[in-house]
Amino acid sequence: MAKDIFVFVELKEGAVRKVSLELLSKGKEIAGHFSSSLYAVLIGHNVKGIAATVQPYSDKVIVIDNEGLAEYRWDTYASVLEGILRKYNPYAVLGGSTVTGKDLFPRLAARFGSAIVSDAVGIDFHDSGIKIKKPLFGGKVISWITCSEDSAIFITFRPNSFGIEKGSLNGEVIEEQFEAAKDPKMNLAGTEKHVSEKVDLQEADFIICGGRGMKGPEHFQVLEEIAGIMGGRVGASRAVVDSKWREYEDQVGKSGKTVSPKLYIGCGISGALHHTMGMDTSKVIVAINKDPNAPIFHYADYGIVDDAFAVLPVLREALKKTREEI
Amino acid sequence: MNILIFIKQVADTEARIIIKGDHKSLEIENKYNMNFFDEFAVEEAMRIKEKNKDVQITVCTIGSQKAVEALRTAIAMGADRAFLLDGSKAATNDPLAISRILSAFAKKEGFDMILCGRQAIDDESANVGAMAAEFLGIPHVSAILKMEVVDGNAVKVENEIEGGRGIFEVKLPALFTTQKGLNEPRVPLITGVMKAMKASIPVVDPATLDIPQEAVAAEASKVTILSYESPQERPPVKIIEGETPEEKVKNLVKALKEDAKVL
Ligand SMILES: Cc1cc2nc3c(=O)[nH]c(=O)nc-3n(C[C@H](O)[C@H](O)[C@H](O)COP(=O)(O)OP(=O)(O)OC[C@H]3O[C@@H](n4cnc5c(N)ncnc54)[C@H](O)[C@@H]3O)c2cc1C
Ligand SMILES: Nc1ncnc2c1ncn2[C@@H]1O[C@H](COP(=O)(O)O)[C@@H](O)[C@H]1O
């Protein structure tokens, strides 16, 4: 049987999320190895126009466009995906380890009685199949996992685990119809979305995090400015969130979000284990702390020992200049 | 109302973990706790019990005899009953097996509401809640931040969704996974701790539950850990030199551009 690879394409405000393009890029490599096909699965309402975004990255694009799929809910999405997966029988289904992916994939894996590995960070070939790389214990240990192949393998990956390759395919679009079945016992009474222009914290390439050393919420302004210049996001330590200087959704660490941006800058953050567990897979880490013995320097690639208030305005101007040069 | 809570005993974040020479097993320092996110589940159940009549709180875990400690912590917080589901023969690394056993136990005990943590901090999977709900054929809501019992058979919850909050009205029975922000878990009182020490905790053999045994046995695991390895060590930090903040920033930007190539 052909080992076809499926990628569940996630949308955010009508656009394809970065993590989905990362997974399609990796998925192409896997399908290439197995000489099988890579399918992008695009579901939602008024999404036909979006297919063009994923066509260059996929061999085939399955589109299910249905009014009942306008808002994500596990019940409707799982019922539609179930139909697709039963029809096409893929070898593996990849998705992002995002709020949506973490809600949807386990529900489906249980329905299929399938192997599931979530929050993975890598994938490789093993025997005639695959092995999956997944951190355990907050990143203290890395495990490699194989899965039983008797039904589709479900895997969610942390955003920023893979690079985005330039897409040169022109995937055929296949429109499918499956009923979006609602669970009658669940009624969505409403949503509150803070419409934000900002990138998602977990998907950001650049994160500047403030800790208690920032002294108060007003000092996060300069961090916001730097994040703005870099097209990234501001994060925070738990001490900051507990003090209500920032929202919980900004929290990086064990009890917050796990991030792995290309560049992480921590300012006035001590580097407690609970915090570093959420960011130690960042590609490059910079720490700004006035205490040369702060534990964050054990995790950082580059350190500045100085007062963050003296460094940050200068850093903002310097980064602005690098952006203008491009 | 019968509230059932799934809790997991996990290695403390500070616990030392050594990868054994064969890269196939781990040695974990003897420091364990109730999973961080499960405390919110126990606390929320207590708050429901304090506000409503006839609420019974049952906690259960799949684990070794040692996991009884986590169950005692839950009793100390106020849970009424606890059960240890013997995990010695089960595929405890496989969320499919764990959720099959938990759901079979839930079916046997009966429940109106199930609470469990958003994710376990050892495997960080966030799988078991939604999977158990699927096996039970009940709805679930992940990562709830607010809960209100509307009447005996429905609740209103708010949860974390992509870019904001969702508000759901859910008919019971249903399962909810709990998240930081839902409440502030209480520290058990000494009287609670005394009660927990004395509580007798029955051990349930999963073989007595109504599940296809071959689906949950260790050999049946759908996931196999091939090997463990240490995370890649970072080279020691390069402290950026400079007399003034201006100089340091200049040198940092240079390093980020030329060495690290991230600017
Ligand atoms: C179960 C559990 C879960 C947790 N989860 C998380 C989590 O998800 N995320 C998280 O972040 N924490 C978490 N924590 C908390 C964590 O252990 C630390 O307490 C927290 O990260 C400390 O935050 P901080 O570094 O901002 O503050 P502090 O530890 O107070 O550090 C402040 C730092 O700022 C420096 N500083 C002060 N002034 C200046 C200045 N002017 N310029 C430069 N530097 C300055 C100081 O030298 C110090 O190093 C958790 C804890 C527990 C028990
Ligand atoms: N062995 C177990 N016994 C009881 N509950 C568990 C077990 N494993 C996981 N859970 C529950 O499921 C939640 C999510 O776990 P996980 O899917 O492993 O991240 C945990 O917070 C617990 O509430």
Helix/strand/coil (H/E/C) assignment for every residue in B161-187: ECCEEEEEEEECCEEEEECCCCCCCCC
Distance from CA of A138 to the nearest CA of B (A): 7
For residue B147, the chain A residues in CB contact (below 8 A) are: none
> Does residue B49 lie within any of the structural domains?
yes
For residue A107, the chain B residues in CB contact (below 8 A) are: 130-131, 133-134, 140
Q: Which of A201, A208, A234, A255 to mutate to test the pocket of ligand 1 (most atoms within 8 A of CB)?
A: A255
User: CB B256 to CB A302 under 8 A?
Assistant: yes
> Closest Cα to residue B69, out of B122, B31, B15?
B31
Phi, psi torsion values for B44, nearest 5 degrees = -65, -40
> Does residue B137 lie within any of the structural domains?
yes
> Closest Cα to residue A231, out of A256, A191, A203?
A203
Contacts of B54-58 with C-beta under 8 Å, sequence gap 24+, read: B54/B1, B55/B1, B55/B2, B55/B3, B56/B1, B56/B2, B56/B3, B56/B80, B56/B81, B57/B3, B57/B5, B57/B81, B58/B2, B58/B3, B58/B4, B58/B5, B58/B82, B58/B83, B58/B109, B58/B111
Distance from CA of B123 to the nearest CA of A (A): 5
A297: left (phi over 0), alpha (psi -120 to 50) or beta: alpha
* Whole-angstrom distance, CA of residue B156 vs CA of residue B173: 13
* Whole-angstrom distance, CA of residue A134 vs CA of residue B209: 31
- Residues B72, B176 within the same domain: yes
CA of B64 from ligand 2 middle (Å) equals: 14
The pLDDT tens digits of the residues spanning B38-49 come to 999 999 999 999
> Does residue B226 lie within any of the structural domains?
no
State the helix-helix crossing angle for A220-230 and A308-325, rounded to 10 degrees. Answer: 20
Residue pair A29/A65 in contact (Cβ under 8 Å)? The answer is no
For residue B26, the chain A residues in CB contact (below 8 A) are: 141
* Whole-angstrom distance, CA of residue B61 vs CA of residue B58: 10
- Residues B9, B41 within the same domain: yes
Distance from CA of B65 to the nearest CA of A (A): 21
- Residues B191, B238 within the same domain: no
Q: Which-ligand-closest: CA of B90?
A: 2
The tally of domains found in chain B comes to 2
How buried is residue A230: exposed, middle or buried, by Cβ count under 10 Å (0-12/13-18/19+)? Answer: buried
Mutant choice from B96, B233, B247 vs A, greatest count of A C-beta within 10 A = B96
CA-nearest residue for atom 6, ligand 2, is B8
ipTM rounded to 2 decimals = 0.94
> Does residue B74 lie within any of the structural domains?
yes
Distance from CA of B191 to the nearest CA of A (A): 29
- Residues B254, B187 within the same domain: no
- Residues B70, B174 within the same domain: yes
> Does residue B253 lie within any of the structural domains?
yes
Token pair, residue A324, equals 């203008």
- Residues B208, B244 within the same domain: no
Please work out whether the CB of residue A130 comes within 6 Å of at least one atom of ligand 1.
no
- Residues B202, B116 within the same domain: yes
Phi, psi torsion values for A311, nearest 5 degrees = -80, -40
Q: Which atom of ligand 1 is nearest to the CA of A239?
A: 23
- Residues B236, B159 within the same domain: no
pLDDT in tens, chain B (263 residues): 999 999 999 999 999 999 999 999 999 999 999 999 999 999 999 999 999 999 999 999 999 999 999 999 999 999 999 999 999 999 999 999 999 999 999 999 999 999 999 999 999 999 999 999 999 999 999 999 999 999 879 999 999 888 889 999 999 999 999 999 999 999 999 999 999 999 999 999 999 999 988 888 888 899 999 999 999 888 999 999 999 999 999 999 999 999 999 99
Query: Across chain B, what does the average pLDDT equal?
Result: 96
* Whole-angstrom distance, CA of residue A88 vs CA of residue A155: 17
Token pair, residue A190, equals 């409403």
- Residues B82, B56 within the same domain: yes
CA angle at A45 for the pair A185 and A72, rounded to the nearest 5°: 40
Secondary structure of residue B188 in the 3-state scheme: coil
Please work out whether the CB of residue A294 comes within 6 Å of at least one atom of ligand 1.
yes
Interface list for B 196-255 with A (CB within 8 A): 215, 221-231, 234-235, 237-240, 245-246, 248-250, 252-253, 255
Residue B257, beta-bridge partner list: none
Match 């040169």 to its residue by tokens: A168
Find the length of chain B.
263
CATH of the domain at B68: 3.40.50.620
> Does residue B225 lie within any of the structural domains?
no
Domain architecture of chain A: domains with CATH: 5-175 (3.40.50.620), 201-325 (3.40.50.1220)
- Give the range of the structural domain holding residue B55, as residue numbers without chain letter: 2-220
Secondary structure of residue A163 in the 3-state scheme: coil
- Residues B207, B246 within the same domain: no
Please work out whether the CB of residue A236 comes within 6 Å of at least one atom of ligand 1.
no
pLDDT of res. B162? 85
Q: Report the predicted TM-score, pTM, of the whole model to 2 decimal places.
A: 0.94
Please work out whether the CB of residue A289 comes within 6 Å of at least one atom of ligand 1.
yes
- Residues B59, B164 within the same domain: yes
- Residues B174, B248 within the same domain: no
> Closest Cα to residue B133, out of B4, B226, B1?
B4
The pLDDT tens digits of the residues spanning B207-221 come to 999 998 888 888 889
Residue A120, beta-bridge partner list: A157
Q: What is the CA radius of gyration of chain A?
A: 21
pLDDT in tens, chain A (326 residues): 789 999 999 998 889 999 999 999 999 999 999 999 999 999 999 999 999 999 999 999 999 999 999 999 999 999 999 999 999 999 999 999 999 999 999 999 999 999 999 999 999 999 999 999 999 999 999 999 999 999 999 999 999 999 999 999 999 999 999 999 999 999 998 888 876 667 889 999 999 999 999 999 999 999 999 999 999 999 999 999 999 999 998 999 998 999 999 999 999 999 999 999 999 999 999 999 999 999 999 999 999 999 999 999 999 999 999 998 86
